[in-house]
Structure 1
Amino acid sequence: MAASNLTAFRQAASARFGLRLDDYDALYDWSVAGKEDFWRFLWEWAGLKGDLGGVALADGDKMPGARWFPEASLNYAENMLANAPDGEAVVFWAEDKVKRRWSGGELKAEVSRLQQALKAAGVGKGDRVAAVVPNMPETLAAMLATASLGAIWSSCSPDFGAQGITDRFGQIEPTVLFAPDAYWYNGKSHDIRAKIAQVLTELPTVKAAVIIPYVNETPDVSAIRGGVTWGDFIAPFAAAEPSFERVAFNHPLFILYSSGTTGKPKCIVHGTGGTLLQHVKEHRLHSDVKPGDRVFYYTTCGWMMWNWLVSGLAAGATLLLYDGSPFAPDGNILFDYADAEGMTLFGTSAKFIQQAEKSGLEPIRTHRLDTLRALASTGSPLMPENFAYVYRAIKTDIHLASISGGTDIVSCFVLGNPDGPGVGGRAADGGARHGGGGLRRLRPRGQRREGRAGLHGGPSPACRWASGPTRTGRSTARAYFERFPNVWTHGDFIERTVHGGWVIYGRSDAVLNPGGVRIGTAEIYRQVEQLPEILEAVCIGQEWDGDVRVILFVVLREGLTLDKALEDTIRKRIKENCSPRHVPARIVAVKDIPRTRSGKITELAVRDAVHGRPIKNTEALANPMALDEFRERPELEG
């Protein structure tokens, strides 16, 4: 077997700097202690294009405030297209409805024509381009064309409501908007042209609304202000070699958004150099992505994992894009995709893995998966039982990485270690803190464990929270650096294991506190969701009689009811495997649980609904009607 990228990088760095980087821990320690050399060498080793300048780090003792490569100039799109495969660069499946393939040459040609069209529409350096789009090839091309001009890209999923779209894009004053005529989900098409027309009434800065034919070959765009089809938008321009506007290292590249479950979504502005370098490191070193690999992540364009996925072009990988339900029509579509397209990296959410097990899927018996080397999971903690399921029912010889990061940094804190031992049930299958920063666990007095990601000067986080792309706020400092000076406080519960791995327990702000004892909801979920009768659960603390009591909501398998025997089983399992403090005071069956559009359960929204408080932004939810089940429940009144 060929050596991993991680091994090759360690050996090259050892030779270059006269070091002994014999294992991952040695490399990690050097990447923190010698971070300026590490990041500059990563750039050179990866063969990235641009000029880093003579200064690697200015004001390096400040966090936030450190300035990386202040003399640098580069372009994100240039680095993506320079490494895109000459053969298939992009493969696209839309459930079982649409399939398309673009070579590297076809992708470059499309980017070139779009680049010229965007210029003609008035887009230049620093302008914003917004998109309400599926994860499809045209989306990738539009993003690369935007970045090639030094403009700023921002996208969301087409299933967002009109208010959710305007809450986001209304803050950034886009010049051009991209959207499809419709999209596919669970075997059905959903036309969004009327919604786009409504959104445009709130976005007066948009000069052109480019409609991508997806469900209809020649969609009517006459009712859309500034509406033009994709074909007509690029028709006046012949394909040529794309040009690239090189920008400063921290010039804005992407605008992402907070989830919006506690109010209007906040803009998070990510810089060009920090995003590129961090993604290159995560793909090549932590995920061992090599030229010729075929990389997939199940994601919408409103989740940071889309930005992470498409950066795989810089590693020379073919991108496998998917739009639609991950379980249409029979639950096997993503595993079918893996077999048919020779997938090497399969990225998904912990919830997908849990649902696949609940659905009785056993791809190890029904699919080859012979090219698949790695499986990455994120979005929520992956429990030890989920690890066991992957190795038992999906593939025995696979590198399983439970990764953790966030929209705030458009990258990860904890990732895979391709050279590490397989340790079932451990985050990152053997454990790996991200190189170039520092992950450490800080414990305030009296607290058992709370994860604090201390990024000691790495180019990521490359974000600036702002009300717009030109007005940087102070939210980053307030949100992450006030509690522990000079250390990014991420706020997940996390534990270092004797194996050197990391176990992630979930958000500390969702912790229950009955009788003053702190309880993590993930520990309850781990027990409850192993029961075959239960598909899903959400747990909250209800204010009660001057204290807090634990309330557990469960979604049962079809045809089952929550009787006393099942309640006793749930309580007994939680008591025996957690503690008596974890046992819920009330257990309530519901039909659905509210979640964000990236699939995360919204405990805080459920808690507000139970207490009769208004939900500040239901547009952030994929299924806001599910909240109705949690209001005025008689079971919670006594």
Structure 2
Amino acid sequence: MTAIEPSWLPDPARVQQTRIVRFAQWLVGQGRASLDDVTDYRALHAWSVASPGDFWAAVADFFGVDWETPPRCALAEHRMPGAEWFPGGTLNFGRHLLRAGDDDQDAVILVAETGERSSITYGELRAQAAAVAGRLRGLGVAPGDRVAAYLPNCVEGVVAFVATALVGAVWAQTGLDYAAPSAAQRMAQLSPRVLITGSGYRFGGKVHDRRDDARQLRELLPELRHTITVETAGLTNPADGPDASTWAEALAAEPAADGLAVGFDHPLWVLFTSGTTGRPKGVVHGHGGVLLEQLVSPGLHMDLRAGDVFFWFTTPNWMMWNAQVCGLLHGATIVLYDGRPTWPGPDALWRLVADLGVAVFGTSPGYLEASQRAGLAPGRELGLSALRLVGVTGSVLPGTANAWFREHVSPQVQLGSMSGGTDIVGIFVASAPTTPVYDGEISAPALGAAVQVWHPEGGRARVGVPGEMVITEPMPSMPLHFWDDPDGQKLRDTYFDMFPGVWRHGDLTMMTERGTVVILGRSDATINRHGVRLGSAEIYAAISDLPEVADALVVGVEEPDGGYWLPLFVVPNGDGRPAELVSRIRRHIVERTSPRHVPDEVILLPSLPHTKTGKRLEVPVKRILQGADPERVIDRGAVDDPAALDMLITSARERRREP
């Protein structure tokens, strides 16, 4: 068998300068680990999961975690769920966000799709966060109280989050693109004391006025005590009533003293699941766990450094907003974007990367594929000399995107695919500066993540055999608990129902003989055709380089009579001949996968629905196609295009001849 060669290899000279190698050298020098080759990622990872307590303690020491009270040990209870990390230790996450950057260095830059920019320096961030923290305390916000935000990407959102962390309150956020009832479905669970609301956001060349929704949201939060209004997208947002005040008043408040020291597991924020298949679950993370994970993820895996410009295209609805803000931990300048990523043209984000000298750029496979279909050549047309890493997450990255990237962006820049999630606000599998890149594969399990692939009935699957992604050792950023889950049953049902004591993440995954990871799709949407398990990602990858395909969704539907239906919904790109497009799609899938992967039907639609964070709705669509009531299966408020959802439901009912 011919060995598969990597498509990208680390530059040995550059590797020696990376923080992950300095970390490995430090471990050896301190006598904490025995590593024959400090550039050997596999050896470093093996040590990190064999001794999780030692690894995470080393992370805390290497990055100089500022303990108010030192912990008694690193890992007191070695179990899942219920691991006890750094007992007795106290610290404050907000303090760590403010300690790295120079006063005159830009901390946050906001770029609107119109090209308008605003920014604040680290010195201004420190002063504004202290003032807003003082305002929150003046409003009676105590440790553990919730502060909710209904904001677009904006500088004020970052300041408000840091201030919330400083006072020990709990942060939660939804974007302004959520209608008030959908935002309330999330926020009302938390009974927030203070709400911070914007007035509008930009998308697709328009300013979307959300002031009426902001007022409605206030009425839907019965225990709310106060609202702070923020002017966003150029729309005024005056405070109305005695229980409201403006952002300007918050900035004028008496600054709070240094951040309150809280326990390692003190709640920092609540992140919500997509809510497409039921009431959104609130995932609670703590100050210490998030801090350690976000020291490792961008600090070691992305090699993010002080002074770097860090831009990850995201919205406030996605955990990547939280991860982007954590770039402040490393003294980076973080970039927020308010707008559509392809407005006014498909190269909008690439131009931003060039103009700001971005070093680490995060995006989605969808944006890379859209760039490919548009015939872009950013590496030739723009100055990308500062770029070191393009990180990709949110869905599976097809191998064709790697080839396009090397040719049209840069053969020197690393294209690092990674996967993790809201569950740990971090990564389970990823690249590192010391790992090669293979097309269509993720380089390795992340440091501290004991990732394995198991058979559904239990036990480790052989190399090359798909199975369930599991994590066999605890990580400090695993959820403290779910909101409104006093006995922990929802959490156990979500992660530990299949394998007691072992985290099942829900991804259909395969390990290769190279130690790389291939994610084939969500395991609860696995295609099981004639007894053979197929991954939806394989089908998407097979058609990813067809310029005539703008979007696609495939599901495998078990039918009541024992039959199996495999439809592929496709959004055509342009006005071609439908029959020719369908034929070409089928041919591509046969040539690049197998005849088993060819859909029973290719159904052309003008658009497809996604979650608010752009993910495909495979599971709810599958249930709808099995005949479930759409109103019971999916929350329309959590869908980016409800009209597209209606079209898909109609096509399914027509296929089944339902009314």
The TM tier, using the shorter chain, reads over 0.9
CA contact (8 A) 1:83 1:314 kept: yes
Alignment-derived partner of residue 63 in structure 2: 46
CA contact (8 A) 2:390 2:414 kept: yes
Identity across the alignment (%): 36
Going from structure 1 to structure 2, the CA distance change for 1:19 and 1:231 (only over 3 Å counts) comes to closer
Instruction: Give 1:452's aligned amino acid.
Output: M
What is the Cα deviation at residue 247 of structure 1?
A: 0.6
Query: Over residues 114-144 of structure 1, what are the superposed CA-to-partner deviations in whole Å (9 max), with x where a residue is unaligned?
Result: 0111111111100000001112211000000
Alignment-derived partner of residue 23 in structure 2: 9
Alignment-derived partner of residue 570 in structure 2: 554
Deviates more, 1:567-576 or 1:357-366: 567-576
Deviates more, 1:481-490 or 1:436-445: 436-445
CA contact (8 A) 1:93 1:99 kept: yes
Alignment-derived partner of residue 55 in structure 1: 73
Going from structure 1 to structure 2, the CA distance change for 1:578 and 1:263 (only over 3 Å counts) comes to same
1:227 aligns with 2:244: yes
Alignment-derived partner of residue 504 in structure 1: 519
Give the Cα–Cα distance (whole angstroms) in 2 for the partners of residues 276 and 355 of structure 1: 34
Going from structure 1 to structure 2, the CA distance change for 1:632 and 1:95 (only over 3 Å counts) comes to closer
Going from structure 1 to structure 2, the CA distance change for 1:136 and 1:455 (only over 3 Å counts) comes to farther
Give the Cα–Cα distance (whole angstroms) in 1 for the partners of residues 604 and 373 of structure 2: 17
Question: Which ranges in structure 1 are unaligned for 5 or more consecutive residues?
Answer: none
Correspondence list, 1:462-501, <5 A: 462-467=479-484, 471=486, 473-501=488-516
Deviates more, 1:362-371 or 1:89-98: 89-98
SS in 2 for 1:538: strand
Match for residue 438 of structure 1 among 423, 438, 450? 450
**Number of equivalent positions:** 628
CA contact (8 A) 1:466 1:475 kept: no
What is the Cα deviation at residue 409 of structure 1?
A: 1.2
What is the Cα deviation at residue 458 of structure 1?
A: 2.4
Going from structure 1 to structure 2, the CA distance change for 1:227 and 1:182 (only over 3 Å counts) comes to farther
Alignment-derived partner of residue 655 in structure 2: 636
CA contact (8 A) 1:594 1:606 kept: no
Going from structure 1 to structure 2, the CA distance change for 1:580 and 1:140 (only over 3 Å counts) comes to same
Correspondence list, 1:334-353, <5 A: 334-353=349-368
Give the Cα–Cα distance (whole angstroms) in 2 for the partners of residues 174 and 466 of structure 1: 13
Alignment-derived partner of residue 306 in structure 1: 321
Query: Over residues 157-191 of structure 1, what are the superposed CA-to-partner deviations in whole Å (9 max), with x where a residue is unaligned?
Result: 11001121010001000011112111111111111
Instruction: Give 1:121's aligned amino acid.
Output: L
Alignment-derived partner of residue 246 in structure 1: 261
Instruction: Give 2:338's aligned amino acid.
Output: D
Give the Cα–Cα distance (whole angstroms) in 2 for the partners of residues 603 and 306 of structure 1: 24
Alignment-derived partner of residue 73 in structure 1: 90
SS in 1 for 2:514: coil
Give the Cα–Cα distance (whole angstroms) in 2 for the partners of residues 402 and 315 of structure 1: 21
1:31 aligns with 2:35: no
Alignment-derived partner of residue 152 in structure 1: 170
Match for residue 286 of structure 1 among 297, 301, 317? 301
Deviates more, 1:621-630 or 1:105-114: 621-630
Query: Over residues 76-128 of structure 1, what are the superposed CA-to-partner deviations in whole Å (9 max), with x where a residue is unaligned?
Result: 00011011342111111011253112111100111011011111111110000
Going from structure 1 to structure 2, the CA distance change for 1:496 and 1:216 (only over 3 Å counts) comes to same
Alignment-derived partner of residue 367 in structure 1: 382
CA contact (8 A) 2:416 2:437 kept: no
Match for residue 161 of structure 1 among 152, 172, 179? 179
Going from structure 1 to structure 2, the CA distance change for 1:101 and 1:500 (only over 3 Å counts) comes to same
Give the Cα–Cα distance (whole angstroms) in 2 for the partners of residues 113 and 158 of structure 1: 25
Alignment-derived partner of residue 216 in structure 1: 234
SS in 2 for 1:145: helix
Going from structure 1 to structure 2, the CA distance change for 1:220 and 1:347 (only over 3 Å counts) comes to same
CA contact (8 A) 1:275 1:462 kept: no
Give the Cα–Cα distance (whole angstroms) in 1 for the partners of residues 238 and 17 of structure 2: 53
What is the Cα deviation at residue 149 of structure 1?
A: 0.5
What is the Cα deviation at residue 330 of structure 1?
A: 1.1
Instruction: Give 2:166's aligned amino acid.
Output: S
Instruction: Give 2:129's aligned amino acid.
Output: V
SS in 2 for 1:555: strand
SS in 2 for 1:93: strand
Alignment-derived partner of residue 9 in structure 2: none
SS in 2 for 1:467: coil
SS in 1 for 2:484: strand
Give the Cα–Cα distance (whole angstroms) in 1 for the partners of residues 208 and 487 of structure 2: 37
Query: Over residues 458-488 of structure 1, what are the superposed CA-to-partner deviations in whole Å (9 max), with x where a residue is unaligned?
Result: 21214411227xx463222121113222211
SS in 1 for 2:616: coil
SS in 2 for 1:283: helix
What is the Cα deviation at residue 218 of structure 1?
A: 4.0
Going from structure 1 to structure 2, the CA distance change for 1:398 and 1:118 (only over 3 Å counts) comes to same
Going from structure 1 to structure 2, the CA distance change for 1:587 and 1:218 (only over 3 Å counts) comes to closer
Question: Which ranges in structure 2 are unaligned for 5 or more consecutive residues?
Answer: 1-13
Going from structure 1 to structure 2, the CA distance change for 1:424 and 1:519 (only over 3 Å counts) comes to closer
Give the Cα–Cα distance (whole angstroms) in 2 for the partners of residues 246 and 115 of structure 1: 14
Query: Over residues 497-523 of structure 1, what are the superposed CA-to-partner deviations in whole Å (9 max), with x where a residue is unaligned?
Result: 233221211111111223333222111
Give the Cα–Cα distance (whole angstroms) in 2 for the partners of residues 156 and 493 of structure 1: 29
1:141 aligns with 2:156: no
Give the Cα–Cα distance (whole angstroms) in 2 for the partners of residues 459 and 185 of structure 1: 37
TM-score for the superposition, normalised by structure 1: 0.95
SS in 2 for 1:339: helix
Give the Cα–Cα distance (whole angstroms) in 2 for the partners of residues 95 and 590 of structure 1: 28
Alignment-derived partner of residue 586 in structure 1: 601
